[in-house]
Amino acid sequence: MKKTVVVVFTAIFFVCTFLAGQILAVEIEGEPALWPINDNIRITQFMEQNVSDQQRESVGEVHDIIFDKDGNIHYLVLSRGGVLGIGADLIPIPWKDETITIERNAIILNMDKQKVEEAPSFAADEWHRFMQEEFRDEIHGYYGTKK
């Protein structure tokens, strides 16, 4: 009986070790970052992902996503700068097919880093600006997109 229990526990230990190794190997390769479930994106894994420009230079991280009442995405909001998120600039980017490309484990803006650096931005305590038509016009005018 005692020998059987030891064998069972040993087998369980080796199976768990094997599975943990497989999970870590996939994480190290970067595979599960955005597509862990049947090529669908989980919003929790999309958040805080690094965002790059066309040359694959980092331009910020996903801070938030703005939806309309019908569930359509309107803006990707990047966070750039600051310390531990404090004092960071928030940069809204219109969510259009020609603006953003999502590749396996990468979010790419179809623009250069300088365009993002000069983009209209707001502070973390200024979310009310999205209620202002002028601010939305400024954003879309800058990127050349329609609302």
Domain count for the chain:
2
Helical (H) or strand (E) element with 74: strand 73-80
Residues 6+ apart with CB under 8 A from 73: 65, 66, 67, 95
Whether 62 and 25 share a structural domain: no
Task: Give the CATH number for residue 81.
Answer: 2.30.30.240
In this structure, what is the dihedral angle of CA atoms 135, 141, 142, 143, given to the nearest 10 degrees? 110
Average pLDDT, the chain: 77
Residue 52 counted as domain residue: yes
Assess whether pLDDT exceeds 50 at residue 29: no
Whether 112 and 85 share a structural domain: yes
Domain region containing 115: 43-143
Per-residue model confidence as pLDDT tens digits over 87-102? 688 999 999 877 888 8
Whether 49 and 103 share a structural domain: yes
Assigned token pair, 93: 């980017």
Assess whether pLDDT exceeds 50 at residue 108: yes
CB 65 within 8 A of CB 73: yes
Assigned token pair, 103: 């590749």
Whether 85 and 109 share a structural domain: yes
